[in-house]
Amino acid sequence: MAIIEGEPLALPSGTPDDRPNPLGVFARPHNATGFKDWLTTVDHKKIGIMYGAAAMFFLILGGVSALLIRIQLATPNNTFLSADAYNQVFTMHGTIMVFLVVMPIGAAFANFLMPLQVGARDVAFPRINAFSFWVFLFGGLMLNTSWFLGGGADGGWFNYAPNNGIAYSPSSGIDFWNIGLLIAGIGSLTGAINLITTVLNMRAPGMSFMKMPVFVWMTLVTQFLLLFAIPVLTVAQVLLMLDRQFDSNFFNVEQGADPLLWQHLFWIFGHPEVYLMILPAFGIVSEIIPTFSRKPIFGYPFMVFSGVAIGFMGWGVWAHHMFVSGLGPLSVSAFSVATMFIAVPTGVKILNWLATMWGGKLTLNTAMLFSIGLVTQFTIGGLSGVSHAIAPSDTQQTDTYYIVAHFHYVLFGGALFGFVAGMYFWWPKAFGYKLGEKLGKWNFWGMVIGFNLTFGPMHILGLQGMPRRMQTYDDAMGLNLWNFVASVGSFILGVATLLVLVNAYLSSRKWKAAGRPDVGPDPWDGRTIEWSIQSPAPNHNFDVDPVVTSLDDFWHRKYAEDESGKIRRVATGAQLAQPGNGEGVHLPASSYWPIVLAASFPIIGYGIMFTLWLTIPGGLLLVLGLYGWSLEPADDLDLPHDHDDHADLAGVGASHD
Amino acid sequence: MFTWGPKYLFGVSISALIGAVVYGLVTGGDPIGVVSLGYKGGVGDHLGYVMLIAAFVSAQVLCWIMVATRDGDAEVLAQRVGAGAVPPVQAPADPSYWGVVTAFGVAAVVVGLALSSLFFYLGLAVLMVAALMWLLLAWSDRASGDPEVNRVVRDRVAGPFEVPLLSLLAFAVVAIAFSRVFLAASKTGATVAGGIATVIIFGGAVLASRISLKPALMRSVVVLLGVVVLAAGIVGAAAGERDFHHGEEHGDSHSIDEGEGE
Amino acid sequence: MSDTAISENAHDTAHDHDAHDHPQEKQYWVIFAILAVLTAVEVAWSYLGLTGPALVLPLIVMMLAKFFLVAGVFMHLYFDLKMLNGKYFTWAFAGAVVLAVIVYLVVFATFHFRFAYFG
Amino acid sequence: MTKFARPTVWRRRRGPATLVQDMNASLTAARGRRGVPSAAFALVALLTLSACAEDKPLNTFEPRGPQAQMIDNLMTRIWVIMAIVFVLVVGGGIALAIKGRVKAEDFDYEDLPYQRHGNDKLEIGWTIAPAVLLAIICIPTVATIWKLEERNEPQELDVMVIGRQWWWEYRYDVDGDGFFQDANGDGVVDDKDIEWPLELALDNDDLSIANELVIPTGEQIDLVITSGDVIHSFWIPRLNGKRDAVPGRIHTWSLEADEPGKYNGWCTEYCGLSHARMRMSTIALSPADFETWYANQMLQAELPEAPAEGEVASPEWAGRQTFEQVCASCHVVDTPGFEYAENFVAPLTAKAAPNLTHFATRSVMAGAIFSQYSEDPTGRLIDADDDSFDVSNYLGLADEGRFNDAQLRRWISDAPSQKAMAAEDQRGMPAFPQLTDEDLTNLVAYLATLD
Amino acid sequence: MTDVTVDQVVDHHDDHGGGHASSLGLSNMKLAFWLFLGSECLLFGALISSYLLSKTRFITEIIAGNPNVVSTMPAELIQEFQEKGSVEPMFDIPFTSLSSFVLLMSSLSMVLAHSAIVKGDQRNTRLWLGTTAMLGSIFIGGQIYEFTAFYREGLTFTNNLFGSAFFTLTGFHGIHVTGGIIMLLSLLFLSFQGKLNSSRAETVELVGLYWHFVDVVWVLIFTIVYLIP
Ligand code: HEA
Ligand code: HEA
Ligand code: CUA
Ligand SMILES: [Cu+2]
């Protein structure tokens, strides 16, 4: 970071006073279409979509590993996976799902949606935004190359010391885990800075804090959590790297080190992490439920402040993952109580969503169903969360399948359901057509049934004493039935999850076959200003900056009270929407350098792991990236500056699907 | 898109690489060593091999810079500047001193071969830098007919390297010089030396900010200061480190050999 | 009902600030003098041969004083926070600082507790 | 609701038959009284109770000692509260969705529902209500946390539990000096007094056994838990919750069993390759039996009789010879007249292998995954439940004929094929391809004498 | 800085009327920089915690006489550690006090540089930038000296917990200072090339923020590591 933030200061280009740069050294790329455009784009919408696509890719990886787990556990004493393979599979499953699926989907929505919702043309630092994505992607890919280079990490997703040390895990799997996530973390950090700056500084005129959509608020909280949580993980990982690669002693018990240091560092990061996985989903359903209940969100200030409160409280509860690590009763009591009280702000949210639905006229389409799915299933996960926040009962439950059930209910039943809801909801804004409702219903019910069939029984398994991370179990333990049920469920769930992608594919085909009919700017009678522009969102977002006068601004423009005090529709969304004419709008040009710069990190990473020689080309590439970055002119000089030339750009958004 | 410059340089670099490999093999290098830059296995005759690899690297770097800058094509540049016409190419206005530096580098390498590897590597570094800068200068000199423009061209390309690297160099020289002085002095001596240096620098700055010195005088003072620091550093380095053993008061020494720690 | 809790006009706050709010050079010198004195006292204190809280507490207090002086004046935090919508950011900032301190104390309580309850 | 309370007589496990009746009763009662919510409530009841319906050796719902009972009592209340919230919120959500739904085509844009923005009183209400509820739960929670930390005076029987990859070592402080190693210290166990790394010193006055912890009933046994390599977690669900075994740290925990029996457990902190095969069991013996067991364990193992001149050596004797050559670099059998190297440390990352002095008095081996007495040819622990509990096994009275030697042979000749281990990295027992069939027979014969 | 901020984009747009002002009245760059520093706080917080824990454990083991630990350093040092019950005998407080003082002083010269550039006073901007960089270099020179001295006395990065933790924490800080110095000197070079006029006062301010931050971290390290060993 220091390099990125610091270095360019020293460089003589790109300053407002010597722009436009007369020498055009390192001209910017200017392809508006094709894959090269995707590689060089700095458009927040495309970057958001790429985050989403990458997450889907990793979801399949994580999902396949989940299914491997379930196959292995379907029957007792199964030998489908060896102990070693099993350990790698569940570690990589957890790691992929958390860091490479849920976090990037959150980033996808934040990137795609947040600038639209605050009425901005792009994020504050578009090139850094692209860099964040690429560095995340390369970190994630590097992590997954471990499968082919000596095996994946085998320490569990929280990788406790000293089991993560070179003595106990001599293969390079954990190095991949460590360095891959370190790299991905750089992306999260730069992304957080970028997005927070955008929310704080680039809101449309009139959009005060209390007029921001709930999703924007949740993005803000999430990114603050990231901003502060990532460095703590970074420190843990750096210490581990120093231990593994450079023989230091941070987790060397023989030298008197305390392995709990790792646990504290990891969970100080880890707990804020779980909230930063759920809050974007909370934000999403806070947009969907009011829209399809045809009512404003119930208790907006409470929604906002409970989100902020969760963000704050999330920092004070990490040791609930360590109730049996031997902290001593005082700490355990303190953390137990603190954890229980997180149920309060979360409960406010749940109940406010219910109250929003109460008395509404509900349109139960797929997006809404998934949202309701989140509300109910997250509650189940939250309640089991509270049951192990009670420390004594956690001594029975921790590290059993009861915990596995808890976190899949909050992560899959909560976060992922919310994200799928969001995909159905904003798909038209991104791609210009709706996802099929019929398949959507199948999608939803398949997922609900598969999900509960998979993870519901895990509550029972856990309470019957099945510890987690078990490669196998014995016949005599009485665990056969529910394990088998869970395995069956997981396949239903897998197929149902795939339907999201199938639906996207089929709907797009149908749409194209029908000659790409216009879905209209406002297909759902939406409430926030992203619905006031064409679908798919034009490259330049807003023709003119929107001026916001109230919460749910767009809705208030469509509806007004008549003389009798009755609320009537005064205009449709299509009537009010901006026509999507980008004339006179100047957009930041694409750039090669984010991806070049990002590519240097994994090379350095491999160098640290295998041979320090490799860090030299990696370092050179890094320097080259920074060099190119700093030399790049602020604008693409090849794009003529006359204002009428930008109409072609506006069409770009529509050309992908 | 690819003008003759990069193509030419690319050719040069590839020949240098092939040359390096062949040379390495011929002079007894290990095949793996030769292709892995000596990571595993020997590379044969070091000097020649390294020179050829250095040529390869610098040609590559320049090649890609030229690709990116479209070979500094004067027409393109002029178009961008909005100038109507391209001034005719002129002979470079200033004599280039990179030749001297290169000669110095070669000398250092030769001396280094005979005396110490430090000189050898220093010489190599100088050679690399000189080669790069010289080529860059030559290239920018034919960018346009206007030496002023040419200088700007050069600066734009070199600046992002030059400025931070020079900064790093300046910083490293000062910091290392100070550390040598401290290391040579006694424990108390180090503190005193540091204190004096601080007082001089900060006091000087305060003075300078209050009174108005002639720029020339200022410059000489700064240069003088630099020379003093450098000289002190060299003297310190030459004096060597003091004896380290814990707690200077107790006589019995317990210094640990360098190797032992690792 | 909801829009009044915190309202702030995004446009009004944008104003040029460099010139007037910031402290003048003289203040910088004063702050520096205070910092220097604090450092001197700190070092002297560490030579008194005290142990336990008598050593640690005053040092921590002085350390924090230095910390906030640098952050507040040299880094213009006091002025910048005031210039932003003062109340909101100041509270958020203060909240974060308090939280950080608590978290910190708790970690250390945790690590040292082991010695106390054993036996 | 009373269905959730634990039966007051908890010492006896409830048979499946009564449970099914209970469940049926609760279901019908629920259906009759409160419709949907009660049905959901009953569903939870069903799921919860179904946990007890079969033999589940690790079930967390079957407390068999005061600590586990304490936890269970606390949990019972929590389940009730959770069930209520569950029914209200999930049921409410579904009900609202069903009630409020309007087909998208039927929706009339001119006829919006009432646009309520919120209701401060309501919202404050449902902020405060859960808070109060939780505050109430906090009280017994915190009380239980502290109660679980209550320990005996240090003089009583203390056992040190050491997690190893991938088995458990138990050391009894026989001489009561507060140490588990040698007798030259004083005072209680404190971080400072534990010598690290914990090595198996042989001039040991104390007792070291593996995999099976034996305790007397009716008495709180204090455990001192640590680890020799990575973090493990000690857990006997029916006696108490778990506590991590962290290398370099000493944690305490207590166990108490009300009745003699076998209480199984499983290492619950992920500890590497064979985490899944690191189980444990605790044997509670009546105080009198415990004394017998203890006295027996304190004896050194006898040496097999040496063959007289010209006689053919007995298999036991031959096995003993092989043992000394091959196995004694890691395993200890404390026998008279045999000198081990001072400060014997096994060449393992864990620094120790199971002490085999009284190997034949244990009913399980190798991280409690195989049963010595199993009739199953695979040796798997098919009799994990207390029904198999046979006191005589532990008192050195076992009928030798029952010894499952097929499994033991497989183990000795190629342990890594029986249990995932990384012997090449000094974690776990290596394979011994060089041992002949005869060697194996001899070794098994010798091991069978170790009672 | 060189990133194409949307501010610039908006600049363009402003020509045609309308467009965003920054909602908070801070530039994006400055806001982002503050956020970055906030995140750095956590980085150093975690590093300092790790140091404190490791050092405490080290001393505990030394006092307990753990042979694995005791054998990692010269007996004489160990003995002093044991006597004092702390790692204090390792440190050279007078010298480190001087270093800390130097760093504080450099903070002053940094603000002076900033106020000079705000006033458009090129000469003093250069003077103070140079002074700041010079003082920073003395600090780093001191750190090189200290590291070498420790190394010679028998404390290395790999030999025990204290060594690992000490070198990691102070090394991280040292790298930050080095980065700061390079930025300062680069500014100085730019100033000589005439590319640093008052319109770039914010650049100087940002480098200044970074510099003060690094100073503030040292304020913490000095007290926590050196004065309260
Ligand atoms: C999206 C992620 C997410 C979320 C939101 C949560 C939310 C919560 N989690 Fe969870 N948790 C995880 C992800 C998450 N968790 C993961 C991944 C792990 C395992 C890590 C690992 O070990 O691998 C874990 C583990 C975990 C543990 C450690 C278990 C163990 O290992 O022993 C604990 C213990 O306290 C806990 C508690 C909680 C609590 C109290 C909440 C609360 O926030 C829940 C609050 C919500 C509700 C309570 C429901 C709604 C409330 C009402 C309707 C109001 C009325 C309610 C009451 C009065 C009770 N979680
Ligand atoms: C967001 C996070 C997330 C998600 C979505 C999931 C999804 C799933 N998880 Fe995951 N899980 C974790 C996070 C997550 N998990 C974490 C953090 C751990 C802890 C790891 C650790 O202990 O270190 C864990 C651990 C974990 C375990 C415990 C392992 C153990 O302790 O030994 C199990 C066991 O069943 C499991 C199962 C599943 C299943 C069946 C799914 C399913 O929902 C997956 C469904 C999705 C798909 C299947 C993908 C889509 C379809 C295809 C890929 C096509 C192929 C499909 C067919 C042909 C049918 N998970
Ligand atoms: Cu031992 Cu898991
Ligand atoms: Cu948590």
Tokens 């489908």 sit at which residue? A80
Protein residue with its CA nearest to atom 1 in ligand 3: D232
Residue D361 lies in a domain: yes
| Whether B and D touch (3+ CB pairs < 8 Å), yes or no | no
User: In whole angstroms, what is the distance from residue A131 CA to residue A134 CA?
Assistant: 5
Q: Is E162 in contact with E55 (CB distance < 8 Å)?
A: yes
Mean pLDDT per block of 10 residues along chain E (229 residues) reads 35 33 76 90 90 88 82 87 86 91 92 89 88 93 92 89 94 94 90 80 89 93 87
CB-based contact (8 Å) between B255 and chain E? yes
For C7-59, write each residue's pLDDT tens digit. 333 333 334 444 445 567 888 888 899 999 998 998 888 888 777 778 888 88
Instruction: Identify the CA nearest to A89 among candidates A159, A16, A147, A170.
Output: A147
Evaluate: CB of A404 within 6 angstroms of ligand 1: no
Instruction: Check pocket membership of A157 for ligand 2, CB cut-off 6 A.
Output: yes
pLDDT at B256 over 90: no
Strand partners of residue D243: D234
Is there a domain that residue D1 lies in? Answer: no
- Mutate which of C75, C88, C101 to test chain E, going by most E C-beta atoms within 10 A? C75
Structure token pair of residue A562: 């008549």
CA of A274 to the centre of ligand 4 (A): 7
Near ion ligand 4, which residues have CB within 5 Å?
A 271
Q: Which of A11, A123, A249 sits opposite E2 (nearest CB)?
A: A11
Q: Which amino acid is at A298?
A: F
Q: Is A5 in contact with A624 (CB distance < 8 Å)? A: no
The answer to whether residue B81 neighbours chain A at the CB level (below 8 Å) is yes
Residue C36 neighbours by CB distance under 10 Å: 15
User: Closest ligand 3 atom, CA of D275?
Assistant: 2
- Structural domain contains residue D109: no
Q: Could you give the 3-state DSSP secondary structure of residue D214?
A: strand
Q: Is B91 helix (H, G, I), strand (E, B) or coil?
A: coil
How many other β-carbons are positioned within 10 Å of the β-carbon of residue A365? 20
Parent domain of D167: 157-451
**Cβ B179–E141 below 8 Å, yes or no?**
yes
* Distance (Å, whole) CA A208 – CA A300: 14
Ligand 2 mutation target, pool A97, A103, A500, most atoms within 8 A of CB: A97
**SS3 state of residue A361:** coil
Q: Which residue has the tokens 């990069």?
A: B6
pLDDT-wise least confident of A421-435, B235-249, C105-119, D251-265: C105-119
Give every CB contact of residue E24 below 8 A, 6+ residues apart in sequence.
Answer: A200, A201, C13, C14, C84, C85, E31
A347 lines ligand 1 (CB under 6 A): yes
Q: What residues contact A365, with CB distance under 8 A and at least 6 apart?
A: A292, A424, A437, A440, D104
Residue D113 lies in a domain: no
Of D117, D154, D252, nearest to C2 by CB-CB distance is D117
Same domain? For D63 and D182 the reply is no
Distance B23 CA to ligand 3 centre (A): 57
Is there a single domain that holds both residue D168 and residue D68?
A: no
What's the token pair of residue A306? 């409970």
Domains of chain E listed by start with CATH number: 29-227 (1.20.120.80)
- Does residue A474 lie in a domain region? yes
* Residue range A320-338, pLDDT digits in tens: 999 999 888 888 998 999 9
Domain count, chain D: 2
The alpha-carbon gap from E203 to the nearest alpha carbon of chain A, in Å, equals 7
**Model pLDDT for residues D319-372, shown as the tens digit of each residue:** 888 988 888 888 888 777 666 555 567 788 877 888 888 888 888 888 888 877
Q: What is the dihedral of CA B67, B69, B72, B76, to 10 degrees?
A: 110
Query: Does the beta carbon of A211 lie inside 6 Å of ligand 2?
Result: no
- Neighboring chain C residues of A208 at a CB cutoff of 8 Å: 3, 6-10
The pLDDT, as a whole number, for residue D275 is 92
With beta carbons under 8 A apart, name residues in chain A contacting B167.
Answer: 10
Q: Tokens 């690899």 map to which residue?
A: B53
Quote ipTM for the complex.
0.85
Asked if D282 and D257 count as a contact pair (C-beta separation under 8 A), the reply is yes
A10: three-class secondary structure by DSSP? helix
Per-domain boundaries in chain C: 3-118
* Tokens 């974060």, residue located: C96
With vertex at residue A600, the alpha carbon angle to CA A595 and CA A605, rounded to the nearest 5 degrees, is 135
> Quick one: how far is CA E102 from the chain centroid?
12
| In a shared domain, residues D340 and D201 | yes
Q: Classify the phi-psi angles of D345: left when phi > 0, otherwise alpha if psi is within -120 to 50, otherwise beta.
A: beta
Instruction: Name the domain count of chain A.
Output: 1
The answer to whether position D231 is within a domain reads yes
How far apart are the CA of A551 and the nearest CA of chain C, in angstroms? 8
Could you give the angle at which helices D66-86 and D120-148 cross, rounded to 10 degrees? 170
Q: What is the CATH number of the domain that holds A436?
A: 1.20.210.10
Residue C119 to residue D191, Cβ atoms within 8 A: no
Measure A417 CA to nearest chain D CA, in Å.
16
| Alpha carbon separation from A259 to A84, A242, A317, C119, D246 (Å, rounded) | 23, 15, 19, 21, 7
Select from D129, D30, D140 the least CA-distant residue to D75: D140
CA–CA distance, A520 with A577 (Å, rounded to integer) = 9
Residues of B within 8 A of A611 (CB-CB) are 39
Per-residue pLDDT tens over the stretch D214-272: 999 988 888 888 888 899 999 999 999 999 999 888 888 889 999 888 888 899 999 99
pLDDT in tens, E104-150: 999 999 999 998 888 888 888 888 999 999 999 999 999 999 999 99
DSSP E156: -
| Contact between chains at E2 and A635 (C-beta distance less than 8 A) | no
Q: Please indicate if any CB of chain E lies within 8 Å of the CB of B214.
A: no
pLDDT at C114 over 80: no
pLDDT in tens, A396-416: 999 999 999 999 999 999 999
CB-CB contact of C75 with E38 (8 Å): no
* A540, amino acid identity: H
The pLDDT, as a whole number, for residue D401 is 57
Whether the upstream peptide bond of residue A20 has omega within 30° of 0, thus cis, is: yes
Judged by DSSP in three states, A569 sits in: strand
Within a domain: D141: yes
pLDDT computed for residue D109 by the predictor: 82
For residues C9 and A655, which has the higher predicted lDDT (pLDDT)?
C9
The CATH number that applies at residue D384 is 2.60.40.420
Do residues A339 and A331 lie in contact, with contact meaning Cβ atoms separated by under 8 Å? no
List the one residue out of A629, A522, A539, A612 whose CA is nearest residue A582. A539
Are residues D43 and D79 both part of a single domain? yes
Atom of ligand 3 nearest to the CA of D271: 2
Phi, psi of D172 (to 5 degrees): -100, 135
Q: How far is the CA of A345 from the centre of ligand 1 (A)?
A: 13
Mean pLDDT taken over chain A = 87
Q: Concatenated DSSP letters for D167-201?
A: EEEEEE-TT-SS-SS-S---S---GGGS-SS----
Is-contact B128 B58, C-beta < 8 A? Answer: yes
Tell me whether residue D4 is in a domain.
no
Enumerate the H helices of A1-43 as residue ranges. 34-40
Amino acid at B218: M
Q: What is the pLDDT of residue D306?
A: 81
Test the E interface: residue of C26, C57, C74, C76 with most E CBs within 10 Å: C74
Interchain contact D154–C (C-beta under 8 A): yes
- Residue D32, pLDDT score: 40
Instruction: Report helix angle A300-313 to A343-357, nearest 10.
Output: 160
